[in-house]
Each structure stands twice: as C-alpha cells, then as structure tokens.
Amino acid sequence: MKKLSQYRKKAHLRFYEELNDFLPSDKRKRSFAYLFYGSPSVKDVIEALGIPHVEVDLILVNGESVDFAYRLSSGDKVSVYPVFESLDISSQIRLREKPIRITRFVLDVHLGKVAKNLRMLGFDTIYENNLDDAEIIDIAEREERIILTRDRELLKHGRVSRGYWVRSKKPDRQMMEILKRFDLKSQIKPFHRCMSCNGEIKDVDKKEIEEQLEPKTRQYYDEFFICSNCRKIYWKGSHFDKMEQKIEEWFGSMAE
C-alpha cells in the first residue's frame, strides 16, 4: 500500500509587493514550495496562507493569467500580484471590476480617527463604532464602497469585492498609507464634508447662525459654513490652519 505522503503534490508560489505583509518572514519576496492534496482552488490556497482575496488582482500560473477558480496542479508555478489601482492590466484576467474612480469608503471600528481625516479631505466615508462585520459588508456591497479595516478576517468574506487591510497602527501613518495606496491626491476636496457625520458642508450667511456663535467667534469671523445634515458650524479659525498643515504633512511625507 502506498503511503499517504506519496499522494501529496507540490507547487511553487511567489507573492509580490504588499502581499508579503501577510506572510511569515521565510516566505516573503521569494518563491516557496507549497504542499497540498487533491486540487484546491487557487483562491482557497491564497486565503489559507492568510491573504484576503480582495488584496489580489492578478494571478499567473505558469505564465498564464487565471481566475480564482483555477485548480492547482502539481508542478504549477504561481505568481500573485496585488491590486493595481493605477496600472492598466486589462489584457490580463483581472479578478475584480475596474478600479472605483468615485472613491467612497466604509470603515471598521478600529479606524475612527482615519474616518474623520478622510472626511476632512472630502471623501464620502461611513463610520459608526457599532457596525458589525455583516453590516459593513452590506453597506460596501450596496453602495459600492471600499472597506478599510484592521481585521484581515473581514476581508476574507466571499461577498467582499473591494477592501484593504490597513497595515499601520498610528493614524497619521494610516492616512499616508491609504492616500498612497489608492492614489487619492488628485481626488481630494478638503473641508467639503462634516468630520462628525459625513454630511456635505455648504456656505451659510452669518446672520442665520449668529445666535449660535460664541462672542469672540462672532466678533472676529465673518465667513461660516454649515453641515447640511447635522447642522454643525465651521469657520476658518486656528484649527483650520492646523488642518491645512496636517494635509501638507501627509502629502509631503508621501513624496519623500
């Protein structure tokens, strides 16, 4: 009788760029042997290694582009590439639809500060600290939003088509990572959304909101803005200068 090990098959896998963030150090940026039984789908193999399928946009097997349903065979050489938001690979089998150009997000509970910062830059960003995974996926699917999360498992759900695992733990680094990852510089419209509720901000006549202002604010400022949703009032005080400086820091660090 043949030993079970004799039925085991071997393929060679290689992951590129930021997909290596999900792998143990001995498998990063190099080809490695992958042992398996039967004929698993390449999607199952990728996720078994800890990489959410939404992070992948191109798979080559023996030099040919394949989709997630491809069944792995012994001797296969597999190359796996991350999402190309700004590179045209239309001649290959893209594993998702074309990149979203009206960029909208839904964030998990771990990214509250990032949600405010994205709104400050004008991005339509849904965030509530009581949304569970199923609700986040429903919103993303219904409204064609990109899921941003610190939870890898959320991105492995079969209904998730667009998402990104935020690697950094500090808010400023997270912002720089997201801005670079989705090439957002040309899309920003600072101070067009309410940082508190995501509503759109519009001009408002000072006379309409004068009674709601503190005495010094009423005395020193004449230009005001109001959220069309929650009615929060904004003006270009010292906080405005600090926010502008923060935006310059994010993009300045990205260019280094």
From CA 187, how far away is CA 3, in angstroms rounded?
Answer: 59
From CA 39, how far away is CA 71, in angstroms rounded?
Answer: 5
- According to DSSP, residue 72 is labeled P
Q: Which of 5-19, 186-200, 223-237 has the lowest mean pLDDT?
A: 5-19
Same domain, 207 and 228: yes
Same domain, 15 and 62: yes
pLDDT tens for residues 14-36?
999 889 999 999 999 999 999 99
Report the residue count for the chain.
Answer: 256
- Bridge partners (DSSP) listed for residue 58: 81
Query: Which structural domain, as residue segments, surrounds residue 112?
Result: 105-189
User: What is the torsional sign of CA 190, 191, 195, 200?
Assistant: negative
Same domain, 181 and 133: yes
Report how far apart, in Å, the C-alpha atoms of 206 and of each of 193, 199, 228 are.
19, 20, 15
From CA 256, how far away is CA 235, in angstroms rounded?
Answer: 32
Query: What average pLDDT does the structure give for the chain?
Result: 89
Task: Locate 110 and state its tokens.
Answer: 């771990």
Q: How many domains does the chain have?
A: 3
Task: Locate 86 and state its tokens.
Answer: 């700004």
Report the CATH number that the domain containing residue 34 is assigned in CATH.
Answer: 3.10.20.30
Closest alpha carbon to 44 in 27, 32, 59: 59
Q: Is there a domain that residue 216 lies in?
A: yes
Judge whether residue 235 has pLDDT over 60: yes
* Domain boundary, last residue among 141, 158, 189: 189
Same domain, 74 and 110: no
Q: Is there a domain that residue 118 lies in?
A: yes
Under the banding of pLDDT at 50, 70 and 90, the label for residue 87 is very low
Strand duo 9-15 + 77-82: pairing: parallel
pTM: predicted TM-score of the whole model, two decimal places: 0.76
Q: Is there a domain that residue 256 lies in?
A: no
Same domain, 17 and 77: yes
Percent of the chain with pLDDT over 70: 89
Q: Is there a domain that residue 13 lies in?
A: yes
Closest alpha carbon to 108 in 152, 144, 141, 143: 152
Judge whether residue 89 has pLDDT over 60: no
Q: Is there a domain that residue 76 lies in?
A: yes
Same domain, 119 and 163: yes
